[in-house]
Amino acid sequence: MLTDSYGRQIRDLRISLTDRCNFRCFYCLPDGEPPLARKATILTFEEIVEISEIFVALGIEKIRLTGGEPLLRKDVERLVEKIARLKDPANVSKELLTEPEANPKSEIRNPKLLDLALTTNGHTLDRRAEALKQAGLDRVTVSLDSLDPANFRDLTGVDRLAETLAAIAAAKRAGLEPVRVNAVVVRGRNDHEIVALARFAREQALAMRFIEYMPLDSKNEWDRKLVVSGREIRQTIDAVFPLVLSEQTRGSATAWKYAFADGAPGEIGIIAPVTEMFCGACSRIRLTADGQLRTCLFSTREHNLRDVLRGGADRAEIVRFIREAVNRKEPRHTINDEQFAPASRSMSFIGG
């Protein structure tokens, strides 16, 4: 089991497959990616699978593939198939459990992956949803900030609303459910579309996630005045479509989840990392495309797992390195502190 120095259990690994992206969302990567994580530095599929297996052996239950735009990477289906094999405990090594610190009574005597998901802007998903499902992907999250073609273009820099909607429809058809849809809400840009997006969730039976705008944009133009609080988002929806809280606690999940009071299908989730910090229950760790472990979205330092792996370390050394990184996981982000130090990389590098 991976437990950090504050007693938080780490069960959720997010893997960025690439820092490249074909969109130019103004809150993420408005000018495209600087040429950093190129071919020789980014992890191969074989390396990603090896790292995933070690993490699952250490108690990771959920893996989410993200980016950049993960579906820009060739043959993601092949990678999904390999990682999905970790859902069978027979494919996860037990050797790590023989470590002295492993508790023989631990619940992870038979570790396995429980959930494999992918976050995408929808690129090519209309054609690939079925194959991804067949390969073993459980769920997909598609980002959609606007239902208005002109505003969609304004927010993302590309004219692809139709493609994104087709991606959502294809994900539903393929059974990648519940299909989640992420919308970052930014004051003056798409806050007037909150109700339309909630209506879309009802009509299409989607799990909508409204996310507060975080200071993770590559141009460092985040401004607190542009943040629409989770509370305001909820009240705006509730005034038109009354909501009921589905669960009184959110555990280690990021979202407060609501159902529509009239029993309509769909779900509303509110993710409010800025105004309602949830770091105390964080169960996440991230691996960048170039093989750096990040223990927080807002980390200012990374742990170079790629070089440890490529330097020929054996499994025990890799495990020790991972445990040490987890042990240094930050207690919380400092967005609301006067001395906020921006993350060392922007969202498209980290993997949201």
From the list ligand SAM, ligand SF4, none, pick the one residue 63 interacts with, judged by a Cβ distance below 5 to 8 Å according to partner type. Answer: none
Q: C-beta of 107: minimal distance to ligand SAM in Å?
A: 31
Q: Which is nearer to ligand SF4, 120 or 236 (CB)?
A: 120
From the list ligand SAM, ligand SF4, none, pick the one residue 217 interacts with, judged by a Cβ distance below 5 to 8 Å according to partner type. Answer: ligand SAM
Structure tokens, 31:
């000018």
**CB 112 within 8 Å of CB 60:** no
Binding residues vs ligand SF4 (CB under 6 A): 21, 23, 25, 28-29, 67-69, 121, 143, 347-348
Q: Which is nearer to ligand SAM, 61 or 145 (CB)?
A: 145
Q: C-beta of 215: minimal distance to ligand SF4 in Å?
A: 14
The separation between the first and the last C-alpha atoms of the chain, rounded to the nearest angstrom, is 24
Q: C-beta of 177: minimal distance to ligand SF4 in Å?
A: 21
**CB 327 within 8 Å of CB 6:** no
From the list ligand SAM, ligand SF4, none, pick the one residue 236 interacts with, judged by a Cβ distance below 5 to 8 Å according to partner type. Answer: none
Q: Decide if residue 144 touches ligand SAM (CB under 6 A).
A: no
**CB 265 within 8 Å of CB 307:** no
Alpha carbons within 13 angstroms on the beta-carbon side of residue 8 total 25
Residue 15, beta-bridge partner list: 65, 287
From the list ligand SF4, ligand SAM, none, pick the one residue 79 interacts with, judged by a Cβ distance below 5 to 8 Å according to partner type. Answer: none
**CB 66 within 8 Å of CB 19:** no
Q: C-beta of 8: minimal distance to ligand SAM in Å?
A: 22
From the list ligand SF4, ligand SAM, none, pick the one residue 267 interacts with, judged by a Cβ distance below 5 to 8 Å according to partner type. Answer: none
Among 111, 230, 291, 352, binds ligand SAM (CB under 6 A): 352
**CB 211 within 8 Å of CB 183:** yes
Q: What is the sign, positive or negative, of the torsion defined by CA atoms of 203, 209, 212, 215?
A: negative
Q: C-beta of 153: minimal distance to ligand SF4 in Å?
A: 13
Structure tokens, 336:
């609301």
Structure tokens, 206:
């989607």
- 80-139 binders of ligand SAM (CB under 6 A): 119-121
Q: Decide if residue 218 touches ligand SAM (CB under 6 A).
A: no
Q: Which residue has the tokens 């893996």?
A: 63
Q: Quote the CA–CA distance of 183 and 196 in Å, as a whole number.
A: 12
3-state secondary structure of 217: coil
Q: C-beta of 227: minimal distance to ligand SF4 in Å?
A: 17
Element (H, E) at 168: helix 161-173
Q: Decide if residue 298 touches ligand SAM (CB under 6 A).
A: no
Among 2, 28, 132, 174, binds ligand SAM (CB under 6 A): 28
- Give ∠ CA 101-107-108 in degrees, rounded to 5: 65
Q: C-beta of 67: minimal distance to ligand SAM in Å?
A: 5
Structure tokens, 326:
């987890």
Question: Which residues of the shown chain bind ligand SAM in the complex (CB under 6 A)?
Answer: 21, 27-28, 66-67, 69, 119-121, 143, 182, 184, 211, 213-214, 216-217, 347-348, 352
